[in-house]
Structure 1
Amino acid sequence: MDRKIVELLLAGMSQNHIVAALSVGKKRVKRARREAERAGYFQGVPLPAYPEAVFPDPVDRRHEKTSDNDVILQEHLAWMRERLASGWQPITVWEELPLRVPRSSFYRFLERHKLCRLGESFRHTPEILHEPGEALLLDWGKLRDVVEDGKKRTLWAFVGVLGFSRYMMVRLVWSNDVATTIAAIESMFQELGGAPGRLTSDNPKCFALEASRYEPILNPVIERFAAHYGVRMECLPPADPEKKGKVERPMPYVRRLYQAHGNEWHGLEESQAYINKKVSLANERKHGTTRLRPIDDLVNIEAQALRGLPPLAYEIEEYSEGSVRRDGFVCFRGKFYSVDEALRGEEVAVVANATRVAIYAKGKLVETHARIRDPHQSKSIKPHHQKSWEKTLRDQSHYLRRAAEVGPDVERIVQAILLEGEGFVDTRRVWGILSLEKTYPRDAVNEACRKAFELNLISYQTVRSLLKLAPRPEKGGAATLKAEDETHKFVRPISEYTKQLKLRLH
């Protein structure tokens, strides 16, 4: 609601108009104005993208306070729940309590613990009037069951009715998921040639994550879709269909229009074409309430009040909620995306389209990734999220350092193999060449790599064959004497052992 108030303030709407349009108090509008000035939104600072919070959430300290009556009643909570479940009236429970508490505190305790609903209104819903282009009312209704390929499916009629002209549109759908619903609404906008100021509907999960009598929590994808077309989303209170009777009442009429089609099934396209013809005729007849033809009211009055459509259609997005795993990854649609390990265990929201995945934590964007489409790839990790050993494996520098220790030509041939980019096949060949120093002198291995590079035969087998063909030093002679004289730095020379043996013999 704060975002809507700030957007209207930035658009130049007065405080009284905002109070009337959003049904909020003046204090809330004034508070939103002060917060917006403090945040610099009136000085050119752009609003953060939804669902990032416009203002930081205030700390609610009401739950920290507990009255004495609440503590006393808490001891008898199970007793009260049992009596109320058996049919006792709340006033009877209050009278039979083994202690005395104010009746107002008792009823507040029941409401706080959801033991009853007080103050329920049964007033008659007054007539709801709409201005031209103000609202498009939406609803679903079961049309028929379809048996196709031995499977039974339910075909739904997604109905949209303009609040002013009563112009009706019907889209046949198999489900009410987000993608299907957005596609159906966009096709209605295309048929109308514009967008209304508000979309009014119930509280399905594709529209609202949590229904409420006062302020529902909207699905962020629908919120972004509405912002793209410049419309507002209105989810009505639960169990209150009278507030959108203009679309609730025609549902049986839509079923009657399809009645003459029969039980034959020739595909969704054929049924959609059939219902389109019937609805087109219905829009040309006089409406039972207005006694006017909906098509005439649409063309002559309401079409001019609709908002123009943006040049680009909305790119359908998906929304999901979850938590950061212990390894620092977030799971979305079976794929894993990395975030900062400091967020481990935190609740996050994921908004994704066909190409990008955006991850939000505490109302702020924390990371974005290219969406994984390869079925063989399971995770996406940013370079700054990699461990030190993962970075080493990816940049392949340890192979080059090891090859440089053997010789410059070995390093050159290893680098050429890695540039071929064949993954594990390359690393096996590299380790084969590096392991040759266990059998042959390093100079010989380096020389063989130089010859293989000159022959343009860059492979382990070529280097190994050249080493086998190279002449080996003859046994005995100066080479043998040199080998005998060579000692390890931690081993004494043989002359020292000879001297000690002679002393012991004498």
Structure 2
Amino acid sequence: MSTVPIFMRKLKEILRLKYGCSLSHRQVAKSLSISPSVVSRYANRAAQMGITSWPLSEIWTDAALNREFLKTRVKLKASIPVPNWSVIYKELKHKTLTLQLLWEEHSQRNPGNHYSYNHFCRLYKAWLGCQKPSMRQHHKAGEKLFIDYCGPTMNIINSSTGEYRTAQVFVAVMGASNYTFAEATWSQGLEDWVMSHARCFEFLGGMPELLIPDNLRSGVTKACRYEPDLNPTYQQMAAHYNTVIVPARPYRPKDKAKAEVAVQIVERWIMAKLRHEPFFSLRQLNERICELLTDLNQRPMRKQPGSRLSQFIEIDKPALKPLPITPYIYTQVKKVTVHIDYHIEVEKHYYSVPHSLIKQKLEAHISGELVRLYHHGECVASHPRSSKIGAHTTIEGHMPIAHRKHDQWSPHRFEKWAKDIGSSTEELVIKLLQSKRHPEQSYRVCLGLLNLSKKYSPARLEAASRRALHTGIMRLAGIRSILDKGLDRQPLPEVQLDLLGEIEHKNVRGNKYYH
């Protein structure tokens, strides 16, 4: 059960990145850390099913996608001769030669049994990557935003106690222009991490195509060179901004060299200048960081013309995608299990879901005001967020029918039902409800008493209740006995005088003791 949501999330990401973000198969594969051939296979299968746009039609639920995509199996091709990549590498050093020409020559030498051009290029690049050459990265305008945290922290003084609290420094830099953003947050936790991204995008005034973060726990749940798993909250934020996350490989600092240099510059030109200044709030610290950051971005660069700001305005800013119309609201995404009482737990508060989902795994989307619960991509429940610890928020429609009926009982409902039968029955029910510490303890007795009107008749039950009140009988078995023996049809017995009632002695009980 647990593998379906992961498979479905990656499948939807493939379709979103291909049709929603217009990325190539290679770019999609790099973003999701999967094979380009997998992207091609699922893209071809989607085209066969008529899926050529994003967002998906309402007919393509998670269950439908899972069923249709798993119907087909791809047959492996026969063995194809592998080109001599070292020879191709040497030939490519000539100015006039291209991979396209070399592939055509290779296909002519192996007619009917050769790789496609795309696969030929992928194999060559894979071989080239194994040679580990040191190469200079070239960044396209508006393409990549590199993200990391500084190693050192900043101290903030508590004005009441004089104690120090450390703040982390978030850094992001555009690949082409080196335009830099920095701010201080209390932690590197998930909410601080995600909201720093949102403020960075507002600072840039647009969206880059790719986000290149470090393998921080808040961003990457499972750090892996080949298949890193992104935190679902971080991935949900990227989907809102319609951008792509490509985490740097672990222990590969060259993948995020821009971020490493930007962190070093922020540490030297901002944090070092502030080392002797006292700060008493996070806001005060960020105001000073903003001042020095403006100076940093406007300072002339040594090896490139202009400043970071002028380069950004000229190169990156025109290529950035526009920000979404609706502002981003922090939404935490976590997996939850439905308990046996058809409730799930979020921050020690319990929210109901349809009882048919008991013991199922759901995905909770927790925002500031709402808690939404999803099962296989479909929203099954939505509740206002509550901060009451240990309390329950329950929707009546989520309850089984038996629980729903039981939950509808109340003292007022029993009294109204008894009143419809007769005044004596109403009086008897009131006495039964008042006989216990909690009225709920008398519900079963009252229900059993009132149901006698179905077996006998309301008139007979009213007469039996009148006789029970007259004789002091308060047990259900006694009232049923009156009806079974027909005593309700007989006149009420005369009240016998209690000759011992006036005598007060511990051994004298009186005639009411035996009722």
State whether TM-score is above 0.5. Answer: yes
Tell me if structure 2 keeps the 8 A contact 1:52–1:360: no
Which residue of structure 1 lines up, in the alignment, with residue 261 of structure 2? Answer: 249
Once the two structures are superposed, the pairs formed by residues 265-414 of structure 1 within 5 Å of their partners are: 265-361=279-375, 363-365=376-378, 367-373=380-386, 375=388, 378-396=391-409, 399-400=412-413, 402-407=415-420
The SS at the match of 1:42 is coil
Task: Report the Cα offset of residue 320 of structure 1.
Answer: 1.7
Tell me if structure 2 keeps the 8 A contact 1:125–1:243: no
Instruction: Choose from 170, 173, 180 the match for 1:168.
Output: 180
Which residue of structure 1 lines up, in the alignment, with residue 485 of structure 2? Answer: 490
Task: Report the Cα offset of residue 154 of structure 1.
Answer: 1.9
Which residue of structure 2 lines up, in the alignment, with residue 223 of structure 1? Answer: 235
Task: Report the Cα offset of residue 384 of structure 1.
Answer: 3.6
Tell me if structure 2 keeps the 8 A contact 1:356–1:368: no
Sort the Cα spacing of 1:27 and 1:192 in 2 relative to 1 into closer, same or farther, 3 A: closer
Tell me if structure 1 keeps the 8 A contact 2:146–2:259: yes
Tell me if structure 2 keeps the 8 A contact 1:158–1:172: yes
Sort the Cα spacing of 1:147 and 1:288 in 2 relative to 1 into closer, same or farther, 3 A: same
What is the CA–CA distance in structure 1 between the aligned matches of 2:281 and 2:157, rounded to whole Å? 11
Sort the Cα spacing of 1:206 and 1:406 in 2 relative to 1 into closer, same or farther, 3 A: same
Sort the Cα spacing of 1:20 and 1:173 in 2 relative to 1 into closer, same or farther, 3 A: closer
What is the CA–CA distance in structure 2 between the aligned matches of 1:390 and 1:489, rounded to whole Å? 32
What is the CA–CA distance in structure 2 between the aligned matches of 1:49 and 1:143, rounded to whole Å? 50
Write out per-residue CA displacement over residues 181-240 of structure 1, whole angstroms, 9 at most, x where no aligned residue: 232222222222111111110122321221121232112222221122121112112122
Tell me if structure 2 keeps the 8 A contact 1:328–1:341: yes
Tell me if structure 2 keeps the 8 A contact 1:337–1:379: yes
Task: Report the Cα offset of residue 128 of structure 1.
Answer: 1.9
Once the two structures are superposed, the pairs formed by residues 123-142 of structure 1 within 5 Å of their partners are: 123=132, 125-141=134-150, 142=152
Instruction: Choose from 187, 201, 224 the match for 1:189.
Output: 201
What is the CA–CA distance in structure 2 between the aligned matches of 1:211 and 1:30, rounded to whole Å? 25
The SS at the match of 2:221 is strand
Write out per-residue CA displacement over residues 380-437 of structure 1, whole angstroms, 9 at most, x where no aligned residue: 2332432445323443478436523333798xx99xxxxxxxxxxx979x99xx99x9
Instruction: Choose from 227, 240, 264 the match for 2:252.
Output: 240
What is the CA–CA distance in structure 1 between the aligned matches of 2:59 and 2:176, rounded to whole Å? 32
Which residue of structure 2 lines up, in the alignment, with residue 451 of structure 1? Answer: none
Question: Percent of aligned pairs with the same residue?
Answer: 19
Which residue of structure 1 lines up, in the alignment, with residue 454 of structure 2? Answer: none
What is the CA–CA distance in structure 2 between the aligned matches of 1:367 and 1:373, rounded to whole Å? 18
1:19 aligns with 2:26: yes
Sort the Cα spacing of 1:45 and 1:408 in 2 relative to 1 into closer, same or farther, 3 A: farther
What is the CA–CA distance in structure 1 between the aligned matches of 2:394 and 2:60, rounded to whole Å? 24
The SS at the match of 1:349 is strand
Tell me how large the CA RMSD over aligned residues is. 4.7
The SS at the match of 2:382 is strand
Sort the Cα spacing of 1:320 and 1:10 in 2 relative to 1 into closer, same or farther, 3 A: closer
Sort the Cα spacing of 1:359 and 1:49 in 2 relative to 1 into closer, same or farther, 3 A: farther
Task: Report the Cα offset of residue 164 of structure 1.
Answer: 0.6
Sort the Cα spacing of 1:391 and 1:38 in 2 relative to 1 into closer, same or farther, 3 A: farther
Instruction: Choose from 156, 161, 166 the match for 2:168.
Output: 156
Unaligned stretches of 5+ in structure 2?
1-9, 74-128, 428-437, 451-457, 463-469, 471-481, 492-515
What is the CA–CA distance in structure 2 between the aligned matches of 1:350 and 1:203, rounded to whole Å? 24
Tell me if structure 2 keeps the 8 A contact 1:128–1:243: no
Name the amino acid aligned to 2:169.
Answer: A
Which residue of structure 2 lines up, in the alignment, with residue 210 of structure 1? Answer: 222
What is the CA–CA distance in structure 2 between the aligned matches of 1:244 and 1:38, rounded to whole Å? 38
Unaligned stretches of 5+ in structure 1?
62-119, 415-425, 447-472, 474-486, 496-506
What is the CA–CA distance in structure 1 between the aligned matches of 2:142 and 2:344, rounded to whole Å? 42
The SS at the match of 1:31 is helix
Q: TM-score, normalised by structure 1?
A: 0.63
Tell me if structure 2 keeps the 8 A contact 1:392–1:398: no
The SS at the match of 1:250 is helix
Task: Report the Cα offset of residue 168 of structure 1.
Answer: 0.8
Q: TM-score, normalised by structure 2?
A: 0.62
Once the two structures are superposed, the pairs formed by residues 64-143 of structure 1 within 5 Å of their partners are: 123=132, 125-141=134-150, 142-143=152-153
Task: Report the Cα offset of residue 173 of structure 1.
Answer: 0.7
Which residue of structure 1 lines up, in the alignment, with residue 12 of structure 2? Answer: 3
Sort the Cα spacing of 1:195 and 1:170 in 2 relative to 1 into closer, same or farther, 3 A: same
1:259 aligns with 2:272: yes
Name the amino acid aligned to 1:137.
Answer: F
Task: Report the Cα offset of residue 366 of structure 1.
Answer: 5.8
